[in-house]
Chain A
Amino acid sequence: MTKFGIAFDNNDVELGDYFRLSKEDIISFIAAHCQDHNIIEIPSNQCNQAFIDFTIPQINADNFLFLAYSHGNHDSLTAGGAFYIKKEVNSALFVNSLFYSMSCLSARELGSDLIINGCHAFVGFKENANALLGSFQALSIECDNYAIKAFINGAGIKSAVEQMKANFTGKIDQLVLSGEPLRAAYLRQNRDALWFAGVEDLVFTSFNVN
């Protein structure tokens, strides 16, 4: 049985839909590739410190995966303008986790703080990241979820991140070829902002707990 906590800020004015669709993309992947799983969905009105403080301790005795699709800061994840996970506030709750967050900037301080507090591995962005919308939205979401999918499929976490970067590069070239240099430039920015810390050969099977 693999436990997932997935936070997604579906009510966000600009990117609510994008966050929601990202969540749905990964959930259908999990459903297809992971037999025994339990997902705690954390939508906007539960993206607050109180809920996190209450809920996470219930699952952090064992390994678990935490995925976040929301805005962020260098030291926190935010929803509706307030943080719900913040360095030195409740980051220690994520002991035993793989923390995967597609929010801007969080890798800078939150990422390392999580690791210090016992988080096994962190994948996130250390700069501003972009989302492509409209007809390129699916492509953008695919890029975002690439590493976690590779991980679920058996790749070590570090290797999964490398694969994600390679995927970015491939997409960049495709976009350039098809006459989309500005969108390619956005993806290039994302790729180079990607950051990993923690146990390099961490694998998905170690999250199958009873």
Chain B
Amino acid sequence: MESYPLKIVVIHDGLIPKIDPLLVELGNKFGEESVIHFENSNKGLEYVLDNLNQKMVVLLDINFSHGELSGIQVFEDIKKRTALVYVIMITARSLNEISHPDLITMINHDAMAIENVFNYPKIIELVEKAAHKMETRVDSALEQWINSHSEADRERPYLTTRTGKVYTLTQILDEIRLQTPYGQEMEGNILMLAIDLLARGKKEIND
């Protein structure tokens, strides 16, 4: 899985750089190279938006300093672009201190969870859940299948649409991850095929 490892993006300014127990544990579980830590919310958002074709789980602090985007804003900005990034919100306050409007935003945009920063084992658990969910998603399955092809094959023209646009396998995966209309359609198609095969009892083919 060289090209698309899972990335854990931690955007939080209240952690001990490099050796915070949260970062250490995440590194242990997912590999140190998989964990990226940003203290500045603007920079964190930039990274996420630039790398949407990767599988990412984002741990996001709700509050940041003056002059930076608030965690809620970062959250909204990510969710506007893709549903495929799982965002876990972290707060230093008790959960019932979060403002009403903020809560509504998070619910509406499918925040995966909201957890307290004091409870790092729980946070690790949530990240593991997210990673697991991600593995069973269409795009991950597709990614696995694509990676079973040679590099050359992945870059060869693979499908043509009715409008004549040509896509390689890699591009198709990108379209799905980026949630373009074509990507969404293709994702839907794949799911329908899977259902069709299952319904006809052909599941052993898809082993």
Contact = CB atoms under 8 A, between A and B. Distances in A.
Contact of B162 (A104, A134, A176, A192): A104
Interface string B6-20: 000000000000000
B162 A185 contact: no
B197 A185 contact: no
A172 B197 CA distance: 9
A14 B162 contact: yes
B144 to A, nearest CB: 11
A133 B166 CA distance: 10
Nearest to B148: A179
Contacts of A13: 164
B159 interface: yes
A173 interface: yes
A130 B158 CA distance: 14
Interface string B152-166: 000001111111100
A173 B162 contact: no
A67 interface: no
A138 interface: no
B202 interface: yes
B163 A14 contact: yes
B127 interface: no
Nearest to B161: A130
B163 to A, nearest CB: 6
Interface in A97-138: 104, 128-131, 133-134
A188 B196 contact: yes
A186 interface: yes
A153 to B, nearest CB: 26
A133 B157 CA distance: 11
A169 B205 contact: no
Interface residues of B, number: 21
Given A177-B205, A182-B172, A182-B186, A172 B193 contact: yes
A189 interface: yes
Contacts of B160: 14, 131, 133-134
Contacts of A15: 162, 164
Interface size range of chain A in the complex = 20 to 34
- Among A13, A14, A177, max chain B CB count under 10 A is at A14
Contacts of B172: 182
A48 to B, nearest CB: 21
Interface in B163-206: 163-164, 172, 186, 189-190, 192-193, 196-197, 200, 202, 205-206
A177 B207 CA distance: 11
Contacts of A192: 192
Contact of B190 (A14, A71, A172, A182): A182
A130 B193 CA distance: 15
Given A14-B163, A131-B160, 6 more contacts: A15-B162, A131-B162, A133-B160, A182-B172, A185-B189, A186-B159
Interface of B: 145, 157-164, 172, 186, 189-190, 192-193, 196-197, 200, 202, 205-206
20 contacts: A14-B162, A15-B162, A15-B164, A71-B162, A129-B162, A130-B161, A172-B193, A172-B196, A176-B205, A177-B205, A181-B193, A182-B158, A182-B159, A182-B172, A182-B186, A182-B189, A183-B159, A185-B186, A186-B189, A192-B192
6 nearest A-B residue pairs (beta carbon): A14-B164, A185-B189, A185-B193, A188-B193, A133-B160, A185-B190
